[in-house]
């Protein structure tokens, strides 16, 4: 994994025209070394791509992203969606809709305090680092985060059989 990461980094450093537009070379180097350190163990492809996404987000360029391969696209398409539609409010998650067909315990307007042991602030920080950090403008970020949460929680918690008690 580290060799793949090193190749991605080398390609970016050679070809990206705005790599140091929003951060210095030393900041970029530090970010890459921190991310590379996460790759010292065997991991699933989706975990590796999360590290790559964090790295790309540090560039803060809306034109720089990764595309999942066919295998990962299928995995994402077949993932169970988190059954709640939520909207971030700072570091909080507020329920917009409950798509669970037979459990109406959680209602619109409620605040989620935890999702499978993860605090909303932790989930939002992770999404911000991987999906949204590369976007410089606030416009639409809340909507994007809301959509990403449904898939991201499902992918991370794919072993989980139920999301609600």
**pLDDT tier for residue 137 given thresholds of 50, 70 and 90:** very low
What pLDDT score does 127 carry? 75
pLDDT, tens digit, 9 for 90 and up, residues 63-75: 888 888 888 888 8
**pLDDT tier for residue 151 given thresholds of 50, 70 and 90:** low
Beta-carbon neighbour count of residue 119 at 10 Å? Answer: 15
pLDDT, tens digit, 9 for 90 and up, residues 68-125: 888 888 887 787 778 888 888 888 999 998 988 888 899 999 999 998 888 988 888 8
What pLDDT score does 164 carry? 44
Domain ranges, ordered by start, for the chain: 2-70, 79-156
What pLDDT score does 149 carry? 61
pLDDT, tens digit, 9 for 90 and up, residues 38-55: 999 999 888 888 888 889
Residue environment code for 81-91, b if the CB has 16+ CB neighbours within 10 A, otherwise e: ebbbbbebeee
The strand pairing partners of 97, in sequence order, are 85
Collapsing DSSP to helix, strand or coil, 21 comes out as coil
């Amino acid at each position: 994994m580290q060799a793949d990461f090193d190749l991605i980094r080398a390609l970016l450093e050679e070809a990206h025209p705005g790599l140091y537009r929003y951060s210095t070379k030393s900041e970029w180097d530090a970010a890459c070394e921190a991310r590379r350190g996460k790759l010292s163990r065997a991991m699933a492809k989706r975990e590796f791509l999360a590290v790559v996404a964090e790295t790309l987000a540090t560039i803060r360029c809306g034109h720089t992203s990764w595309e999942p391969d066919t295998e990962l696209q299928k995995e994402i398409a077949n993932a169970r969606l988190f059954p709640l539609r939520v909207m971030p409010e700072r570091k909080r998650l507020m329920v917009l809709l409950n798509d669970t067909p037979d459990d109406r315990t959680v209602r619109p307007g409620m605040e989620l305090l935890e999702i499978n042991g993860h605090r909303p602030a932790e989930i939002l920080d992770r999404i911000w680092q991987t999906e949204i950090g590369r976007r410089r403008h606030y416009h639409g970020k809340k909507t994007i985060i809301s959509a990403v949460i449904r898939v991201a929680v499902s992918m991370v918690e794919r072993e989980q059989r139920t999301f609600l008690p």
